[in-house]
């Protein structure tokens, strides 16, 4: 009758429903997700915790798409080498995406999985939505 | 005496395994021994090579012609003009070589890169969106174009729903009928490069047309110089063409030499106008952070005195150029080389828990396969006490008919291309010498769902503005 699950347990649990957090386009086409707390998660997680996660994700994506000296330098260098540099070098965006993947996994392990939730990395959904899978809250494993 | 121990077979597990096999059989065989990559089941009309590393539109258009013309003209230049002009300065072949390499590399980058294709919505996502739309009070049959209005930088922007990809298109995204994909920051579908031009390959496309204009101008200039120098012997240009220079014994065939020079001259002369015009037009687009699609449709032109400017511009030419051409390179969203899960069925919702209201709408039962089965069988085997109803094949209701078609698209392999590089264009020659005039004329033909603007390197004096209807697409005509 334990309420908490680990990430491993979740893989064997049954999916109750999924919540999709859509993109927020008010600032243009940059990658940003809505921070509004979905009603379906009210019973599962603290609103502030969720908003903090979404805000950190948004900040990370903003960092990836930031227009600054570094990105311009990368762009100019790529142009001069006829863009062949993209074949050998990992772009700044890709580096931040790895950071985001790590952050999501960490959040899942520490916060969401024990509450029976699972965040899916938005890149797996084409950066359209943050998919939150709600698992059934029943105990897994025999006693 | 042997000590035989028999384990009692749990009838529930037996039934589960039989239901699993019986339900997977009609759903088609999956490759059990080889993991497939995602490009193999990609729903759009694209071709993939090198195990998903290279992609092209299925209709490659006139890409072979483009490549052929560039190679032929440059080849003729290096063979016939360079040996003569190298005595003027050694930089001529060097500059020509650099430009040629730049043109070819940027052309291949434009053609073979993912233009910014958005993957289609998963069935769960599509169901969620449908639920939201239905909750807002639309009728149950297919309603008139679904739109969503949002505010971007205090400007009202309408997001349209794509019936093919089952999602609301992000701003500046458009569905290409030829490739059957939604492309981010869609500029146009270019038959000359055989691909869409969108967010990820616009900079390559721009580099291609700019370097090509330099190359054609350079070759044109060199050819004129060549002929002028020959004729400076005082014998006139015709004589100069007919003269065979004794210093270049290999090329003493004056007929061949003159023929090749004339060919180069003709190709370069006619292509310079269109290529320079196109480069100028795209320079204007880059400086104002517009796409061809938006410019042709007049999305942000001020109408009726209302100030509806482009919400994406930074109001600074330099910043706009930097952002469009040197901005961060976004990643490809379609993950061509990722592996499909061992059972490539979409996630479905279990029927154990109380169903959310939208799920109960439709009674269609879909045969379960894949992850759902796996999860269930594991749950059955680990949980001794049965919490689920034994004996019933677990099926998950699907919300609407549309989801079935989405799933079948996602699961079935892509159909074979019917034609190779078939040309489906209705040519309507329109002059495009300068951006403003070309736009005004083209703006008259706005009411078509999809625009294809070619960038012909060597067209015969015109750069035709090609419009074509999106064929059997289930998407809304963009007005």
Nearest to B337 by CA among B25, B24, B34, B42: B42
Instruction: Tell me the backbone φ, ψ of residue B250, rounded to 5 degrees.
Output: -65, -30
**Are A25 and B333 a contacting pair at CB < 8 A?**
no
pLDDT at B44: 82
pLDDT at B195: 92
pLDDT at A60: 93
pLDDT at B244: 43
Measured CA to CA, the distance from residue B288 to residue B455 in angstroms comes to 20
pLDDT at B421: 39
Question: Above pLDDT 90, what percent of chain B?
Answer: 21
pLDDT at B29: 47
Q: How far is B325 from chain A (nearest CA, A)?
A: 7
Whether chain B has a CB inside 8 Å of the CB on A43: the answer is no
Q: How far is B241 from chain A (nearest CA, A)?
A: 37
Contact residues, chain A, for B352 at CB < 8 Å: 14, 136
For residue range B129-164, list pLDDT tens digits in order. 888 777 765 555 555 557 888 888 788 888 888 989
Contact residues, chain B, for A142 at CB < 8 Å: 382-385
Contact residues, chain A, for B371 at CB < 8 Å: none
Whether chain B has a CB inside 8 Å of the CB on A63: the answer is no
Nearest to A7 by CA among A88, A89, A118: A118
Q: Which residue of B130, B313, B329 to mutate against A (max A Cβ within 10 Å)? A: B329
Residue B305: other Cβ atoms inside 10 A: 5
Q: How far is B426 from chain A (nearest CA, A)?
A: 33
Q: Which residue of A20, A71, A82 to mutate against B (max B Cβ within 10 Å)? A: A82
Could you say which of B60, B82, B165, B190 is catalytic? B190
Nearest to B386 by CA among B396, B376, B399, B395: B376
Q: How confident is the model at residue B414 (pLDDT cuts 50, 70, 90)?
A: very low
- Strands (DSSP E) found in B27-180: 46-49, 54-57, 117-118, 147-152, 155-162, 167-168, 174-176
Measured CA to CA, the distance from residue B198 to residue B211 in angstroms comes to 19
Please provide the size of chain A in residues: 143
**Is the pLDDT score of A98 beyond 60?**
yes
With H, G, I as helix, E, B as strand and everything else as coil, classify residue B451: strand
DSSP-derived letter for residue B446 is: -
ipTM of the complex: 0.86
| Radius of gyration for the alpha carbons in chain A, expressed in angstroms and rounded | 18
Contacts of residue A102, Cβ cutoff 8 Å, sequence gap at least 6: none
Contact B159, B171 (CB under 8 A): yes
Q: How far is A31 from chain B (nearest CA, A)?
A: 10
**Is the pLDDT score of B403 beyond 90?**
no
Contact A19, A132 (CB under 8 A): yes
Q: Count of A–B CB contacts within 8 Å?
A: 141
**Are A11 and B327 a contacting pair at CB < 8 A?**
no
DSSP H or E stretch at residue B450: strand B450-452
Whether chain B has a CB inside 8 Å of the CB on A8: the answer is no
Contact residues, chain B, for A92 at CB < 8 Å: 328
Question: Any catalytic annotation for residue B322?
Answer: no
Mean pLDDT of B441-468: 42
Q: Which of A125, A127, A142 sits opposite B384 (nearest CB)?
A: A142
Measured CA to CA, the distance from residue A77 to residue B446 in angstroms comes to 38
Contact A123, A101 (CB under 8 A): yes
pLDDT at A54: 92
Contact residues, chain B, for A84 at CB < 8 Å: 105
**Are A13 and B375 a contacting pair at CB < 8 A?**
yes
Mean pLDDT of B173-181: 91
**Are A78 and B333 a contacting pair at CB < 8 A?**
no
pLDDT at B145: 57
Mean pLDDT of B17-23: 44
Whether chain B has a CB inside 8 Å of the CB on A20: the answer is yes
**Are A92 and B335 a contacting pair at CB < 8 A?**
no
Contact B455, B209 (CB under 8 A): yes
Measured CA to CA, the distance from residue A69 to residue B393 in angstroms comes to 59
Q: Which of B119, B124, B329 sits opposite A93 (nearest CB)?
A: B329
Q: How confident is the model at residue B349 (pLDDT cuts 50, 70, 90)?
A: very low
For residue range A11-40, list pLDDT tens digits in order. 677 778 888 998 988 888 888 999 988 888
Half-sphere exposure at residue A131, Cβ-oriented, CA atoms within 13 angstroms: 24
**Is the pLDDT score of A99 beyond 90?**
yes
pLDDT at B412: 44
**Are B322 and A123 a contacting pair at CB < 8 A?**
no
Round the average pLDDT of chain A to a whole number and report it: 84
Residue A58: other Cβ atoms inside 10 A: 18
Nearest to B54 by CA among B194, B183, B206: B194
**Is the pLDDT score of B46 beyond 90?**
no
For residue range B55-92, list pLDDT tens digits in order. 888 877 799 999 999 999 999 999 888 888 888 888 99
Please provide the size of chain B in residues: 479
**Are B207 and A76 a contacting pair at CB < 8 A?**
no
**Are A79 and B322 a contacting pair at CB < 8 A?**
no
């Amino acid at each position: 009758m334990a309420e908490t699950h680990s990430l491993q347990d979740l893989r064997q649990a049954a999916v109750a429903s999924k919540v999709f957090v859509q993109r927020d386009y008010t600032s243009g086409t940059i990658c940003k997700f809505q921070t509004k707390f979905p009603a379906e998660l009210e019973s599962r997680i603290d609103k502030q915790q969720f908003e903090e996660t979404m805000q950190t994700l948004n900040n990370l994506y903003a960092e990836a798409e930031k227009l600054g000296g570094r990105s311009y330098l990368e762009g100019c260098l790529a142009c001069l080498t006829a863009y062949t540099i993209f074949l050998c070098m990992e772009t700044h965006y890709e580096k931040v995406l790895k950071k985001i993947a790590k952050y999501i996994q960490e959040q899942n392990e520490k916060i969401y999985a024990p509450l029976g939730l699972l965040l899916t990395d938005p890149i797996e959904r084409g950066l359209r939505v943050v998919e939150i899978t709600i698992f059934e809250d029943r105990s897994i494993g025999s006693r | 005496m042997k000590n035989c121990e028999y384990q009692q077979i749990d009838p529930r597990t037996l039934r589960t395994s039989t239901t699993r096999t019986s339900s997977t059989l009609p759903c088609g065989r999956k490759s059990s021994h080889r993991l497939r990559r995602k490009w193999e089941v990609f729903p759009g009309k694209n071709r993939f090579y090198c195990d998903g590393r290279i992609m092209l539109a299925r209709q490659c258009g006139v890409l072979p012609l483009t490549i052929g013309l560039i190679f032929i003209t440059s080849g003729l230049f290096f063979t016939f003009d360079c040996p003569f002009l190298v005595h003027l300065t050694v930089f001529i072949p060097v500059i020509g070589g650099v430009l040629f390499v730049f043109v070819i590399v940027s052309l291949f980058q434009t053609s073979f890169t993912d233009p910014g294709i958005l993957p289609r919505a998963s069935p769960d996502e599509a169901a969620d969106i449908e639920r939201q739309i239905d909750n807002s009070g639309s009728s149950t049959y297919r309603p008139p174009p679904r739109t969503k209005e949002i505010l971007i930088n205090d400007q009202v922007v309408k997001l349209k729903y794509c019936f093919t990809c089952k999602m609301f298109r992000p701003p500046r995204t458009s569905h290409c009928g030829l490739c059957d994909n939604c492309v981010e920051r869609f500029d146009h579908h270019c038959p000359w490069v055989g691909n869409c031009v969108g967010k990820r390959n616009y900079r390559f496309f721009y580099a291609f047309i700019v370097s090509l204009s330099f190359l054609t101008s350079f070759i044109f200039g060199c050819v004129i110089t060549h002929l002028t120098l020959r004729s400076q012997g005082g014998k006139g240009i015709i004589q100069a063409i007919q003269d065979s220079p004794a210093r270049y014994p290999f090329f003493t065939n004056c007929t061949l030499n003159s023929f090749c020079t004339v060919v180069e001259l003709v190709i370069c002369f006619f292509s310079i106008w269109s290529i320079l015009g196109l480069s100028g037009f795209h320079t204007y687009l880059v400086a104002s952070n517009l796409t061809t699609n938006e410019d042709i449709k007049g999305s942000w032109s001020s109408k009726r005195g209302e100030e509806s400017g482009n919400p994406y511009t930074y109001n600074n030419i330099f910043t706009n150029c930097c952002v469009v051409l040197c901005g961060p390179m976004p990643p490809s969203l379609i993950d061509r080389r990722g592996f499909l899960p061992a059972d490539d069925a979409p996630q479905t919702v279990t029927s154990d828990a109380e169903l959310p209201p939208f799920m109960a709408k439709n009674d269609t039962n879909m045969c379960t396969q894949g992850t759902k089965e796996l999860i269930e069988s594991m749950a059955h085997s680990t949980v001794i006490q049965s919490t689920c109803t034994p004996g019933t094949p677990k099926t998950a209701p699907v919300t609407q008919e549309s989801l079935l078609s989405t799933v079948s698209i996602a699961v079935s392999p892509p159909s074979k291309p019917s034609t190779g590089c078939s040309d489906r264009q209705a040519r309507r020659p329109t002059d495009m010498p300068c951006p403003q005039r070309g736009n005004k004329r083209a703006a008259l033909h706005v009411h078509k769902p999809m625009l294809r603007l070619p960038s012909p390197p060597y067209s015969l004096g015109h750069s035709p503005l090609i419009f074509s209807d999106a064929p059997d697409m289930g998407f809304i005509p963009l007005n």
